[in-house]
Amino acid sequence: MIDLSRLSATQIRDGIVDKLFTAREVTDAAIERIGVLDRQIHAFNQVTKQLAYAAAERIDDAVASGLVLPALAGVPVAFKDNMYLTGTRTTCSSRMLENNESVYDCTAVHRLLEAGTIPLGKCNLDEFAFGSSTEYSAFGPTRNPWNPEAVPGGSSGGSAAAVSGGMVTLALGSDTGGSIRQPGSFTGVVALKPTYGRVSRYGCVAFASSLDQIGPLAKTVEECALALNAISGKDPMDATSVERPAEDFATGLAEGVAGLRVGVVTDFLEAEGCAPEVRDSILAATEVFASLGAEIGEVELPSTAYGLSAYYIIAPAEASSNLARFDGIRYGHRAEDAEDVIDMYMRSRSEGFGPEVLRRIMLGTYALSAGYYEAYYGQAQKARTLIKRDFASAFERFDVLLAPTSPTVAFGIGERMDDLLSMYLSDICTIPVNLAGNCAISVPSGLSPSTGLPIGLQIIGDHFAESTVLRAAAAFEAAIEFDPTPPLVQEIQYEATGERKRRGFRR
Catalytic residues: 80, 155, 179
Q: How far is residue 212's CA from residue 208's CA, in Å, rounded to a whole number?
A: 6
CA angle in degrees (0–180, nearest 5) for 430-284-191: 35
**Buried b or exposed e, range 299-332, using 16+ CB within 10 angstroms:** bebebbbbbbebbbbbbbbbbbbbbeebbbeeeb
Cα→Cα distances 388→268, 315, 406, 438, Å: 16, 16, 20, 9
The partner residues of 263 in beta bridges, in order of sequence, read 297, 401
Spatial CB neighbours of 2, under 8 Å, sequence gap ≥ 6: 21, 25, 26, 28, 29
Q: Are 274 and 407 in contact (CB under 8 A)?
A: yes
Radius of gyration from C-alpha coordinates of the chain: 22
Q: Are 274 and 430 in contact (CB under 8 A)?
A: no
Q: Are 143 and 453 in contact (CB under 8 A)?
A: no
Q: How far is residue 461's CA from residue 433's CA, in Å, rounded to a whole number?
A: 9
Q: How far is residue 103's CA from residue 105's CA, in Å, rounded to a whole number?
A: 7
Tell me which residue of 122, 79, 190 sits closest to 457, measured CA to CA.
Answer: 190
Q: How far is residue 296's CA from residue 19's CA, in Å, rounded to a whole number?
A: 47
Concatenate the DSSP letters of all residues of 65-99 into one string. Answer: TTPPPPTTTT-EEEEETTB--TTSB--TT-GGGTT
The partner residues of 81 in beta bridges, in order of sequence, read none
SS3 annotation, 110-173:
HHHHHCCCEEEEEECCCHHHCCCCCCCCCCCCCCECCECCECCCCCCHHHHHHHHCCCCCEEEE
For CA atoms 313, 318, 319, 324, the dihedral sign is positive
Q: How far is residue 383's CA from residue 302's CA, in Å, rounded to a whole number?
A: 11
